[in-house]
Amino acid sequence: MGDTGDAESAPGPTPRPVSTLALDGQPERASARKHRAILAAAEEVFLRSGYLGTNMDELAARSQVSKQTVYKHFGSKEALFVELVTSMTDAASSTVHNEIPDAAAAADVPDYLRDYAERQLAVVMTPRLLQLRRLVIGEVSRFPELARALYERGPRRAMDSLAAAFARLDDRGLLRVPDPEAAASHFNWLVMGEPVNRAMLLGDAAIPDESWRRKHVHDAVNVFLAAYGGC
Protein backbone atom coordinates (compact mmCIF):
# COMPACT_ATOMS: atom_id res chain seq x y z
CA MET A 1 0.00 0.00 0.00
CA GLY A 2 1.50 3.39 -1.01
CA ASP A 3 1.76 6.26 1.42
CA THR A 4 -1.19 8.63 1.28
CA GLY A 5 -0.05 11.58 3.38
CA ASP A 6 -2.11 14.67 2.63
CA ALA A 7 -3.28 13.53 -0.80
CA GLU A 8 -6.99 14.05 -1.34
CA SER A 9 -9.21 11.54 -3.06
CA ALA A 10 -9.84 12.44 -6.66
CA PRO A 11 -12.59 11.24 -9.00
CA GLY A 12 -11.66 9.35 -12.12
CA PRO A 13 -10.23 5.98 -13.18
CA THR A 14 -8.16 3.86 -10.84
CA PRO A 15 -4.43 4.51 -11.29
CA ARG A 16 -2.67 2.01 -13.52
CA PRO A 17 -0.90 -0.73 -11.50
CA VAL A 18 2.83 -0.38 -11.11
CA SER A 19 4.99 -3.49 -11.39
CA THR A 20 7.12 -4.40 -8.39
CA LEU A 21 9.78 -5.94 -10.64
CA ALA A 22 12.56 -4.09 -12.38
CA LEU A 23 13.58 -4.97 -15.95
CA ASP A 24 16.03 -7.60 -14.71
CA GLY A 25 13.29 -9.39 -12.74
CA GLN A 26 14.63 -8.28 -9.36
CA PRO A 27 12.41 -6.49 -6.82
CA GLU A 28 12.31 -2.82 -7.62
CA ARG A 29 13.25 -0.30 -4.95
CA ALA A 30 10.29 1.48 -3.38
CA SER A 31 11.73 4.85 -4.39
CA ALA A 32 11.94 3.81 -8.05
CA ARG A 33 8.38 2.45 -7.97
CA LYS A 34 7.10 5.72 -6.56
CA HIS A 35 9.01 7.69 -9.21
CA ARG A 36 7.44 5.64 -12.00
CA ALA A 37 3.99 5.85 -10.41
CA ILE A 38 4.22 9.64 -10.21
CA LEU A 39 5.27 9.89 -13.87
CA ALA A 40 2.42 7.59 -14.92
CA ALA A 41 -0.08 9.71 -13.00
CA ALA A 42 1.47 12.89 -14.40
CA GLU A 43 0.94 11.58 -17.92
CA GLU A 44 -2.74 11.03 -17.22
CA VAL A 45 -3.36 14.33 -15.47
CA PHE A 46 -1.22 16.73 -17.54
CA LEU A 47 -2.49 15.36 -20.86
CA ARG A 48 -6.09 15.61 -19.70
CA SER A 49 -6.01 18.92 -17.84
CA GLY A 50 -3.03 20.83 -19.24
CA TYR A 51 -0.28 22.41 -17.19
CA LEU A 52 -2.34 25.09 -15.42
CA GLY A 53 -5.28 22.75 -14.90
CA THR A 54 -3.21 20.03 -13.23
CA ASN A 55 -3.86 19.75 -9.51
CA MET A 56 -0.95 18.33 -7.54
CA ASP A 57 -3.24 16.91 -4.84
CA GLU A 58 -5.08 14.87 -7.48
CA LEU A 59 -1.79 13.83 -9.07
CA ALA A 60 -0.45 12.63 -5.70
CA ALA A 61 -3.65 10.68 -5.01
CA ARG A 62 -3.43 8.97 -8.39
CA SER A 63 0.20 8.13 -7.67
CA GLN A 64 -0.79 6.68 -4.28
CA VAL A 65 1.84 8.80 -2.55
CA SER A 66 1.78 12.00 -0.54
CA LYS A 67 2.17 15.40 -2.15
CA GLN A 68 5.39 15.80 -0.19
CA THR A 69 6.69 12.64 -1.87
CA VAL A 70 5.90 14.09 -5.29
CA TYR A 71 7.92 17.20 -4.48
CA LYS A 72 10.72 15.11 -2.96
CA HIS A 73 11.12 13.25 -6.27
CA PHE A 74 10.67 16.17 -8.68
CA GLY A 75 11.11 19.38 -6.73
CA SER A 76 8.30 21.30 -8.41
CA LYS A 77 5.32 21.00 -10.72
CA GLU A 78 7.44 22.56 -13.46
CA ALA A 79 10.25 20.01 -13.03
CA LEU A 80 7.74 17.15 -13.15
CA PHE A 81 6.22 18.52 -16.35
CA VAL A 82 9.66 18.87 -17.94
CA GLU A 83 10.60 15.28 -17.08
CA LEU A 84 7.27 13.98 -18.37
CA VAL A 85 7.71 15.67 -21.75
CA THR A 86 11.33 14.58 -22.19
CA SER A 87 10.69 11.00 -21.05
CA MET A 88 7.68 10.52 -23.33
CA THR A 89 9.53 12.03 -26.28
CA ASP A 90 12.65 9.92 -25.69
CA ALA A 91 10.61 6.72 -25.34
CA ALA A 92 8.74 7.35 -28.60
CA SER A 93 11.91 8.26 -30.47
CA SER A 94 13.71 5.14 -29.23
CA THR A 95 10.79 2.96 -30.32
CA VAL A 96 11.20 4.27 -33.87
CA HIS A 97 14.99 4.10 -34.10
CA ASN A 98 16.27 1.24 -31.99
CA GLU A 99 14.93 -1.61 -34.14
CA ILE A 100 15.59 -0.17 -37.60
CA PRO A 101 18.14 -2.28 -39.51
CA ASP A 102 21.48 -0.70 -40.35
CA ALA A 103 21.34 1.00 -43.75
CA ALA A 104 24.73 -0.51 -44.52
CA ALA A 105 23.06 -3.93 -44.58
CA ALA A 106 19.79 -2.96 -46.26
CA ALA A 107 19.09 -5.27 -49.18
CA ASP A 108 16.06 -3.50 -50.60
CA VAL A 109 15.91 0.30 -50.37
CA PRO A 110 12.14 0.74 -50.96
CA ASP A 111 11.37 -1.85 -48.27
CA TYR A 112 13.87 -0.23 -45.90
CA LEU A 113 12.29 3.21 -46.38
CA ARG A 114 8.74 1.91 -46.08
CA ASP A 115 9.58 0.01 -42.89
CA TYR A 116 11.12 3.12 -41.34
CA ALA A 117 8.25 5.39 -42.40
CA GLU A 118 5.51 3.00 -41.27
CA ARG A 119 7.18 2.59 -37.88
CA GLN A 120 7.56 6.36 -37.48
CA LEU A 121 3.95 7.09 -38.40
CA ALA A 122 2.58 4.31 -36.17
CA VAL A 123 4.42 5.76 -33.16
CA VAL A 124 3.84 9.46 -33.77
CA MET A 125 0.19 9.13 -34.80
CA THR A 126 -1.02 8.01 -31.39
CA PRO A 127 -3.44 10.09 -29.32
CA ARG A 128 -1.09 10.50 -26.37
CA LEU A 129 1.85 11.78 -28.39
CA LEU A 130 -0.39 14.13 -30.34
CA GLN A 131 -1.85 15.39 -27.06
CA LEU A 132 1.69 15.93 -25.80
CA ARG A 133 2.58 17.96 -28.88
CA ARG A 134 -0.54 20.11 -28.49
CA LEU A 135 0.21 20.61 -24.81
CA VAL A 136 3.83 21.68 -25.42
CA ILE A 137 2.77 24.05 -28.22
CA GLY A 138 0.14 25.54 -25.94
CA GLU A 139 2.76 26.14 -23.23
CA VAL A 140 5.55 27.36 -25.52
CA SER A 141 5.61 30.85 -24.00
CA ARG A 142 5.93 29.39 -20.50
CA PHE A 143 8.34 26.55 -21.39
CA PRO A 144 10.17 27.44 -24.62
CA GLU A 145 12.92 24.96 -23.79
CA LEU A 146 10.39 22.11 -23.90
CA ALA A 147 9.35 22.91 -27.46
CA ARG A 148 13.04 22.81 -28.41
CA ALA A 149 13.53 19.52 -26.54
CA LEU A 150 10.53 17.95 -28.25
CA TYR A 151 11.85 19.05 -31.64
CA GLU A 152 15.44 17.97 -30.98
CA ARG A 153 14.48 14.57 -29.55
CA GLY A 154 11.72 13.97 -32.10
CA PRO A 155 11.85 15.37 -35.66
CA ARG A 156 15.50 16.49 -35.41
CA ARG A 157 16.66 13.09 -34.17
CA ALA A 158 14.67 11.42 -36.94
CA MET A 159 16.25 13.61 -39.62
CA ASP A 160 19.77 13.11 -38.24
CA SER A 161 19.24 9.35 -38.27
CA LEU A 162 17.88 9.46 -41.81
CA ALA A 163 20.74 11.65 -43.03
CA ALA A 164 23.27 9.12 -41.72
CA ALA A 165 21.35 6.25 -43.33
CA PHE A 166 21.07 8.06 -46.66
CA ALA A 167 24.81 8.78 -46.67
CA ARG A 168 25.48 5.04 -46.28
CA LEU A 169 23.02 4.18 -49.04
CA ASP A 170 24.68 6.80 -51.27
CA ASP A 171 28.08 5.22 -50.57
CA ARG A 172 26.66 1.89 -51.77
CA GLY A 173 25.22 3.48 -54.93
CA LEU A 174 21.67 2.68 -53.88
CA LEU A 175 20.64 6.34 -53.61
CA ARG A 176 21.93 9.58 -55.15
CA VAL A 177 22.15 11.91 -52.17
CA PRO A 178 24.50 14.87 -52.64
CA ASP A 179 23.09 16.50 -49.48
CA PRO A 180 21.98 13.87 -46.93
CA GLU A 181 20.51 16.44 -44.54
CA ALA A 182 18.31 17.99 -47.22
CA ALA A 183 17.22 14.52 -48.39
CA ALA A 184 16.37 13.57 -44.80
CA SER A 185 14.22 16.67 -44.41
CA HIS A 186 12.43 15.97 -47.68
CA PHE A 187 11.72 12.37 -46.72
CA ASN A 188 10.64 13.22 -43.19
CA TRP A 189 8.09 15.80 -44.28
CA LEU A 190 6.85 13.77 -47.25
CA VAL A 191 5.93 11.10 -44.71
CA MET A 192 4.95 13.16 -41.66
CA GLY A 193 3.74 16.54 -42.87
CA GLU A 194 0.18 15.94 -44.06
CA PRO A 195 -1.01 13.34 -41.50
CA VAL A 196 0.56 15.10 -38.51
CA ASN A 197 -0.80 18.52 -39.47
CA ARG A 198 -4.26 17.08 -40.07
CA ALA A 199 -4.38 15.26 -36.73
CA MET A 200 -2.86 18.15 -34.79
CA LEU A 201 -5.47 20.58 -36.09
CA LEU A 202 -8.53 18.36 -36.44
CA GLY A 203 -8.10 16.14 -33.40
CA ASP A 204 -7.89 12.42 -32.74
CA ALA A 205 -10.76 11.63 -35.10
CA ALA A 206 -8.44 12.67 -37.95
CA ILE A 207 -5.73 10.13 -37.04
CA PRO A 208 -5.41 7.91 -40.13
CA ASP A 209 -5.94 4.18 -39.91
CA GLU A 210 -3.35 1.57 -40.86
CA SER A 211 -4.53 1.12 -44.46
CA TRP A 212 -4.37 4.88 -45.10
CA ARG A 213 -0.91 5.07 -43.54
CA ARG A 214 0.35 2.19 -45.67
CA LYS A 215 -0.82 3.80 -48.91
CA HIS A 216 0.51 7.19 -47.83
CA VAL A 217 3.94 5.69 -47.05
CA HIS A 218 3.99 3.81 -50.37
CA ASP A 219 3.30 7.04 -52.28
CA ALA A 220 5.79 9.08 -50.23
CA VAL A 221 8.57 6.56 -50.80
CA ASN A 222 7.86 6.53 -54.54
CA VAL A 223 8.08 10.32 -54.71
CA PHE A 224 11.31 10.30 -52.72
CA LEU A 225 12.89 7.62 -54.93
CA ALA A 226 11.90 9.54 -58.07
CA ALA A 227 14.19 12.31 -56.83
CA TYR A 228 16.91 10.31 -55.06
CA GLY A 229 16.86 6.82 -56.55
CA GLY A 230 20.21 5.18 -57.18
CA CYS A 231 21.96 4.68 -60.47
How many other CB atoms are there within 10 angstroms of residue 173's CB atom?
A: 9
CB 65 within 8 A of CB 37: yes
Query: What are the CA-CA distances from residue 74 to residues 47, 77, 132, 147, 230 (Å)?
Result: 18, 7, 19, 20, 51
pTM score, whole prediction: 0.75
Please compute the mean of the pLDDT values over residues 204-218 and round it to a whole number. Answer: 94
Please tell me the distance from the alpha carbon of residue 92 to that of residue 88, in angstroms, as a whole number. Answer: 6
CB 125 within 8 A of CB 34: no
Per-residue model confidence as pLDDT tens digits over 167-185? 999 999 999 999 999 999 9
Confidence check: pLDDT of 26 > 80? no
Please tell me the distance from the alpha carbon of residue 44 to that of residue 81, in angstroms, as a whole number. Answer: 12
Please tell me the distance from the alpha carbon of residue 96 to that of residue 99, in angstroms, as a whole number. Answer: 7
Per-residue model confidence as pLDDT tens digits over 63-108? 999 999 999 999 999 999 999 999 998 888 888 777 666 776 777 8
Selected residue with higher pLDDT from 128 and 100: 128
CATH class of 1-75: mainly alpha
Average pLDDT, the chain: 84
CB 167 within 8 A of CB 177: yes
Exposure string for 108-141, b = 16+ CB within 10 A, e = fewer: ebeebbbbbbbbbbebbbeeebbbbbbbbeebee
Query: What are the CA-CA distances from residue 138 to residues 1, 125, 144 (Å)?
Result: 36, 19, 10
Give the pLDDT confidence score for residue 157 in this predicted structure: 87
Per-residue model confidence as pLDDT tens digits over 37-48? 999 999 999 999
CB 177 within 8 A of CB 183: yes
Please compute the mean of the pLDDT values over residues 149-153 and round it to a whole number. Answer: 86
Give the pLDDT confidence score for residue 5 in this predicted structure: 36
Give the pLDDT confidence score for residue 148 in this predicted structure: 86
Confidence check: pLDDT of 144 > 70? yes
- Fold exhibited by the domain 78-228: Tetracycline Repressor; domain 2 (1.10.357)
Highest mean pLDDT range out of 9-18, 31-40, 216-225?
A: 216-225
Please tell me the distance from the alpha carbon of residue 183 to that of residue 177, in angstroms, as a whole number. Answer: 7
Confidence check: pLDDT of 15 > 60? no
Q: Do domains 1-75 and 78-228 have the same CATH topology?
A: no
Please compute the mean of the pLDDT values over residues 109-123 and round it to a whole number. Answer: 92
Report domain extents, the chain: 1-75, 78-228
Give the pLDDT confidence score for residue 145 in this predicted structure: 85
